[in-house]
Amino acid sequence: MALSQEQYRESGLKLTPQRMAILAYLEGNILHPSAEDVFRAVRRRFPTMSFATVYNTLEMLKKRGKVVELTGDPDKKRFDPNIRPHHHLICTGCRKIVDLKTEFNLTLKAADQAGFQIMGNHIEFTGLCPDCQRKR
Amino acid sequence: MALSQEQYRESGLKLTPQRMAILAYLEGNILHPSAEDVFRAVRRRFPTMSFATVYNTLEMLKKRGKVVELTGDPDKKRFDPNIRPHHHLICTGCRKIVDLKTEFNLTLKAADQAGFQIMGNHIEFTGLCPDCQRKR
DNA sequence: TATCACATTAGAATTGTTCTTGTCAAGATA
DNA sequence: TATCTTGACAAGAACAATTCTAATGTGATA
Ligand SMILES: [Mn+2]
Ligand SMILES: [Mn+2]
Ligand SMILES: [Zn+2]
Ligand SMILES: [Zn+2]
C-alpha cells in the first residue's frame, strides 16, 4: 500500500481507530484477503466492528486507488494493497493467490483492440499450489 | 461450444426443449453472457423457465467442459461457450467483454512459480470500449 | 458552544447463487 | 403393456456476498 498514516491523513481523510486497524491489517499483506478476511482479523481488536464498515472502507480505499480489487476468485472479491501492476498465480484448489514478480511486455496491435482504449492488463496463471498438489 | 445436439445426446444427457433453448442461445454467442442474460433470453420462448434451471444447466455444462466461467466481471459470473483458450478485453465502464484473437507465449521460470503446477493462463486487458469512450 | 462534515453502526434490503422438494417424462426392463 | 429408473424441471426457500439506509457519534472549525 505504501501509505503512511500521515499520507492518509493528509489526503483529507479521518484516521479512526477502526480504519487504522483495517489499514494495519492490509499494510504489506500479501494474502489478497477478502472482505471477510479483513473483517475477521480486525474484529479481534474491535469486536463491535461492522461488516459494512469494512466494505465501506475497502470501497473508499479502492476509489482512492489505495487498494486494488481482484477478480480471480469467483466466490468473493479479493483485495490487494499492492497497487503496483503485477500478475498473479491462482490455485484452483484452494483459491490461494500469490504475487508474481515476473513482468511481461504485452502490447496489442491497434487492429486487435476492437477500438478499446487499453488502460492496463493482468495475467492470471492458474494451477495447483504445493499444498493442493499434495492433497490429490 | 462446438457442440452439436447429437454430440450432446451421445454424451448421455437428455436433450430437453429447455436445454435446447439454452444451448441455442449459447452456441456461437460472443457476448459472454451472465446467467441472468441467459435466463432473460430463454424465458422469451419458455416463460415458465426457472432461474435455477439456467444455473443448473450452466453448472452442468461447466463441469463437462462445454462452457467456461469467466471472473473478469466482479458483479456476476459470466460464461463463455468458446472453450478454446483465449484472452479478453474488458471495458471497465460497461463490463463489456470482447474476445481477443492475439496469442501470447507466456512461460514462467520454475523459480517464479512458487511451487505451483501451472495449468493455464488468462490475460485481461482492461480499458474503455468505444461506446464508453464517447460517453466520457 | 454551535455547526458541519464525515465515519460508524446495525440492520434491512438487494443481488447473485445454491439447495430442496415434489413432480414429471423418457427410456429401460419385465 | 405395466412398471421401474433416472434425471430434468419448477418453484421457492435458503444462503452468501454486497450495498443501502437511518440513526448516532466524533472531530474539526467558526
Ligand atoms: Mn498481488
Ligand atoms: Mn471469450
Ligand atoms: Zn491450493
Ligand atoms: Zn464500455
Say whether pLDDT at A53 is over 60: yes
Q: Are residues A27 and A64 in the same domain?
A: yes
Question: Averaged over A27-44, what is the pLDDT?
Answer: 93
One domain, residues B49 and B98:
no
A22 and A55, same domain (yes or no): yes
pLDDT at A2: 41
Amino acid letter, residue A124: E
On whether both B95 and B114 belong to a single domain, the answer is yes
Q: Total structural domains in chain A?
A: 2
Q: Which of residues 92-111 of B touch A (CB under 8 A)?
A: 92, 98, 100-102, 104, 106, 108-109
**N-terminal to C-terminal alpha carbon distance within chain A:** 36
Beta bridge partners of A125: A89, B121
Question: Would the pTM of this model clear 0.85, i.e. be above it?
Answer: yes
Mark whether A9 and A73 lie in a shared domain: yes
The helix or strand, by DSSP H or E, that contains position A50, with its residue range, turns out to be none
CATH code for position A27: 1.10.10.10
- Give chain A residues 33-92 with Cβ within 7 A of strand D: 34-36, 51-52, 55-56, 59, 75-77
The reply to whether B31 and B62 lie within a common domain is: yes
For the cut 70, the answer to whether the pLDDT of residue B5 exceeds it is: no
Q: Does the pLDDT value for residue A122 go beyond 60?
A: yes
Which residue, B54, B79, B104, sits at the end of a domain? B79
Q: Of A60, A24, A21, A57, which is closest to residue A42 (Cα–Cα)?
A: A21
Of A112, A120, A124, Cβ closest to residue B121: A124
**pLDDT higher than threshold 90 for residue B126:** yes
Which DSSP helix (H) or strand (E) runs through A119? strand A117-128
Based on the fold, state whether residues A73 and A126 are members of the same structural domain. Answer: no
Q: Which of A54-63, B42-51, B70-79 shows the highest mean pLDDT?
A: B70-79
pLDDT of A8: 55
Do both B9 and B70 map to the same domain?
yes
What average pLDDT score do residues A82-111 get? 95
The whole-number pLDDT of residue A46 equals 86
The distance from CA A35 to its chain's CA centroid, rounded to whole angstroms, is 10
Mean pLDDT, chain B, integer: 89
Residue range(s) defining the domain that contains residue B21: 5-79
> Are residue A64 and residue A98 in the same domain, yes or no?
no
Residue B35: Cβ within 10 Å count: 19
Which nucleotide, over all strands, has the C1' atom closest to the CA of B20? D8
> Which of B69 and A48 is assigned the larger pLDDT?
B69
Q: Residue range A127-133: average pLDDT? A: 96
Tell me the pLDDT band of B1, cut-offs 50, 70 and 90. very low
Does residue A112 register a pLDDT over 60? yes
Instruction: State which of A33, A51, A79 marks the end of a domain.
Output: A79
Percent of chain A with pLDDT over 70: 90
Q: Which residues contact A47 (CB under 8 A, 6 or more apart)?
A: none
Q: Is the CB of B10 under 7 A from strand C?
A: no
What is residue B65's predicted lDDT score, i.e. its pLDDT? Answer: 87
pLDDT score, position A80: 96
**CATH number of the domain that B113 lies in?**
3.30.1490.190
Q: Are residues A60 and A102 in the same domain?
A: no
Same domain, B47 and B104: no
User: Residue B17: its pLDDT value, please?
Assistant: 82
Last residue of one domain, picked from the residues B57, B79, B101? B79
A39: enclosing H helix or E strand:
helix A35-43
Residues B74 and B15 in one domain: yes
Better-predicted residue by pLDDT, B9 or B49: B49
| Average pLDDT rounded to a whole number, residues B33-49 | 90
DSSP state of A93: T
Residue A1: pLDDT over 50: no
